[in-house]
Structure 1
Amino acid sequence: MGLSHFSMVNAHPDTQTLACDSAGFLVDVLGKYLPHTKIYTKYEELLDTGNLDAVVIATPSRLHVPMVRAALERGIHVFCEKPFCLDWRDAEELADLAEAKRLVNQVGYHYRYVGAFRRMKEIVDSGALGEIRHVVAEAYGPVVLRARKQNWRTRKTEGGGCLYDYAAHPLNLLNWFFGQPEHVSGSAMVPIFSTETDDMVMSTLRFAGGAMAQLSVNWSDDSFRKMSTKIELIGTKGRVNADRQECQLYLREEHPALPGMHKGWNVQYTTELTRDPWFYLRGEEYSAQIADFVEAVRDGKSRAAENDFRSAAITDRTLDMILEDASGVRIADPVREPVADKPAKRNWLFRTRT
């Protein structure tokens, strides 16, 4: 994701891009093909000498808190990859700091920029489904398919496992639709190949208004070529299903808030629900979120259109609720390792072009 973000930011007409990474191979490659791009190997040095307007942080999750705080304290706008923080209290603290300094802040929950999920949000807000009672949220993919040497993703204190890396995506969408859950129950975090963390997560969440959500996530499922996320909502007046490709809406009766949608099934595809991106890499949703962030910085706004730190903190708190329920123990303070001596990885930064 660091390379992807670098490519998108570097292509944006309103930015001049600097880079920071500790991996020798990446530094060598960037130096060879982008000889005019200044490349740092220590993020503190870049923050202090790079004359930055904004920073994009795409590092292992454990490094987010010190890096985000360091940037905010220097008055630098921050885009941070998800999951935001492994402790929701850190997320709240960083949201407070960003808001106090009126700095643009955003977290990379790119599904909020997928046309089908944005349409689902509009349908939920319209009230056309009546009272939403039953929700199914799923995410499957082939990330961990065999027992192997641990990496940062599969270390609980580094990346948080399947819960934080995979389940965070559908949960962030549910938070977007319904807010923070009131109660979590029946949670299970199951290892399949990993020895230190979970590969499969299941949970039941209850939201204000009565919606009950069944969460099912598995990053050790090789029946999927890549990550696949799907949300299904069933209400008293209809139902809606959405994934990366399409939004399927069933209405028992037409609703004035959804002109053009008739009684029965209606299908809209992401291609017709999405504006053409200014630059296409990985998917239009990635380009759209980076454009929102860059333009918010350029235009002097205090926040981006979606996914600010405050909303990401709600997802971090939801993840913690599942973790507590699955373990049966109230987690007062997760184990933390020192970070000062850890090198930055895939940490891309830029300044706006004036």
Structure 2
Amino acid sequence: MTIQVGVIGLGIGQKHLASLAQIPDVRIVAVADLVESHLLSIASLYNTHHYMHWQCLLDQELALDAVVLATPSHVRIEPIKAICERKLALFCEKPPAVCLDTAHQIAKLLTQAGIINAVGFQYRYSLFAERLSQLLRERGAHFARILVATGWPTFNWMPTPPQHLYKKAASGGPLIEHGIHFQDVLRYITNAEPVSVQAMAELGTLQPVEGRDTEETTLLLARYSSGLLATQVHCWSHVGDVSQLQVVGYDFDLTWHFADIHHLVGMIDQQTINECDRTNPYLEEMKTFIAAVQQHNQRLIRSSYIDACQSMAVCQAATEAIDNSIAHTVVPSFLL
């Protein structure tokens, strides 16, 4: 069964297009983006229809089965309403929304529509996610440490970061926009939920953009329901690319390095570990989404929209703690 897909938003959407193009049972029928020159270039590359507005794509492409929505998070609720009305499957780029209230509204829409849905947390589809998840189920962990130091997110056709990233009202800030990836995979491998967070941040001076309130460096401390303590340092003003997750228990110390080729290094039972995972997690998550659409089986999805709301709850609680300098309780995602 061939699945006909439209892609809305061609920033990170380009990665999803590259994955879709490698899946035999997929036909990319249309793309949409506000930057016309970029839109035309991508449409030509994939030999597909193109539109300057998401509404035009949905109105004209009547044979669609699924939509990949990769717009900025603050402009998602209207296209999702239309996608739900059409009963199309939805793959939504992370974060699920710009704030938790909006995310909960969207989750209700998706539940009422009964459509297949997924959020783009590709690290859940790495072999190391399963390896660490099994290890932690068997042995538990004392603490986890996340370190992310990279440049402000850009796309290869943009010389500077998208302007919405500089404003929390449009992006949610660095933890919601980007740091959510690492909180999400930590929730996944520990099978535990954060119950409280503390956080602080430094605005920094390396991005002299007028009116910017998105911080360059943030620090998060979380207590999990399992007793695990976790830290995350997240910096958007570094010339290199450092992204790693360390978990430490009684008889193991492992660090997962996130890169084009993922590495897992450290020690288990005094035995040295040095492994690499050459699979493409973007491709694996998209293959799973397409299979879920074909089989109409939501259980295949490792990161549903409702589950993604809980990862967002952690990052929003941390962002609120930064704003008022007190510890915040993580509000559990509502039960549907």
Query: In which range does the TM-score fall when normalised by the shorter chain?
Result: 0.7 to 0.9
Report the equivalent of 2:129. 117
Structure 2 Cα separation of the partners of residues 150 and 42 of structure 1: 18
Structure 2 Cα separation of the partners of residues 190 and 137 of structure 1: 20
1:4 aligns to 2:15 (yes or no): yes
Contact 1:117 1:247 (8 Å CA) reproduced: no
Structure 2 Cα separation of the partners of residues 112 and 149 of structure 1: 26
Which is further off, 194-203 or 149-158?
149-158
Instruction: Using the TM superposition, give the Cα deviation of residue 305 of structure 1 relative to its aligned residue in structure 2, in angstroms.
Output: 2.5
Sort the Cα spacing of 1:243 and 1:64 in 2 relative to 1 into closer, same or farther, 3 A.
Answer: same
Report the equivalent of 2:319. 323
Sort the Cα spacing of 1:19 and 1:303 in 2 relative to 1 into closer, same or farther, 3 A.
Answer: farther
Amino acid at match of 1:151: Q
- CA deviations on 1:5-64 (whole Å, 9 max, x unpaired) are 2232234221221111221102322454455x2212221122233121110011112112
* Bigger relative contact order, structure 1 or 2 (CA pairs below 8 A, ≥6 apart): 1
The 5 A counterparts of 1:301-312 are: 301-312=297-308
1:136 aligns to 2:155 (yes or no): no
Structure 2 Cα separation of the partners of residues 298 and 83 of structure 1: 25
1:264 aligns to 2:277 (yes or no): no
The 5 A counterparts of 1:45-84 are: 45-51=56-62, 52-84=64-96
Instruction: Using the TM superposition, give the Cα deviation of residue 214 of structure 1 relative to its aligned residue in structure 2, in angstroms.
Output: 1.2
Contact 1:187 1:201 (8 Å CA) reproduced: yes
3-state DSSP of counterpart to 1:234: strand
Contact 1:248 1:267 (8 Å CA) reproduced: yes
Residue in structure 1 matching 2:200, options 161, 170, 187: 187
Amino acid at match of 2:257: D
3-state DSSP of counterpart to 1:158: helix
Sort the Cα spacing of 1:104 and 1:192 in 2 relative to 1 into closer, same or farther, 3 A.
Answer: farther
Contact 1:187 1:204 (8 Å CA) reproduced: no
3-state DSSP of counterpart to 1:287: helix
3-state DSSP of counterpart to 2:194: coil
Structure 1 Cα separation of the partners of residues 110 and 72 of structure 2: 21
Structure 2 Cα separation of the partners of residues 317 and 30 of structure 1: 35
Structure 2 Cα separation of the partners of residues 167 and 268 of structure 1: 25
1:29 aligns to 2:25 (yes or no): no
Structure 2 Cα separation of the partners of residues 68 and 189 of structure 1: 34
Give the superposed CA RMSD: 2.4
Amino acid at match of 1:267: I
Structure 2 Cα separation of the partners of residues 172 and 250 of structure 1: 24
Structure 2 Cα separation of the partners of residues 189 and 93 of structure 1: 31
Sort the Cα spacing of 1:173 and 1:30 in 2 relative to 1 into closer, same or farther, 3 A.
Answer: closer
Instruction: Using the TM superposition, give the Cα deviation of residue 143 of structure 1 relative to its aligned residue in structure 2, in angstroms.
Output: 2.0
Amino acid at match of 1:270: C
3-state DSSP of counterpart to 1:233: strand
Contact 1:144 1:199 (8 Å CA) reproduced: no
3-state DSSP of counterpart to 1:307: coil
Contact 2:133 2:191 (8 Å CA) reproduced: no
For structure 2, the 5+ residue unaligned runs are: 1-11, 155-159, 327-336
1:240 aligns to 2:254 (yes or no): yes
Contact 2:176 2:316 (8 Å CA) reproduced: no
Report the equivalent of 2:55. 44
Instruction: Using the TM superposition, give the Cα deviation of residue 159 of structure 1 relative to its aligned residue in structure 2, in angstroms.
Output: 1.8
Report the equivalent of 2:333. none
Tell me the TM-score normalised to structure 1 length.
0.77
Report the equivalent of 1:200. 217
Amino acid at match of 2:265: Q
For structure 1, the 5+ residue unaligned runs are: 252-262, 277-283, 331-354
The 5 A counterparts of 1:86-125 are: 86-125=98-137
Structure 1 Cα separation of the partners of residues 43 and 153 of structure 2: 32
The 5 A counterparts of 1:13-24 are: 13-17=24-28, 18-24=30-36
Instruction: Specify the structure having the higher radius of gyration (Cα).
Output: 1
Structure 1 Cα separation of the partners of residues 80 and 325 of structure 2: 29
Structure 2 Cα separation of the partners of residues 209 and 74 of structure 1: 41
- CA deviations on 1:94-138 (whole Å, 9 max, x unpaired) are 22332333311111111222222332122112x22x4x2222111
The number of aligned residues is: 300
Structure 1 Cα separation of the partners of residues 251 and 185 of structure 2: 21
Report the equivalent of 2:330. none
Tell me the TM-score normalised to structure 2 length.
0.81
Sort the Cα spacing of 1:85 and 1:10 in 2 relative to 1 into closer, same or farther, 3 A.
Answer: same
Sort the Cα spacing of 1:314 and 1:31 in 2 relative to 1 into closer, same or farther, 3 A.
Answer: closer
Report the equivalent of 2:5. none
Structure 2 Cα separation of the partners of residues 59 and 39 of structure 1: 15
Report the equivalent of 2:288. 292
Which is further off, 39-48 or 90-99?
90-99
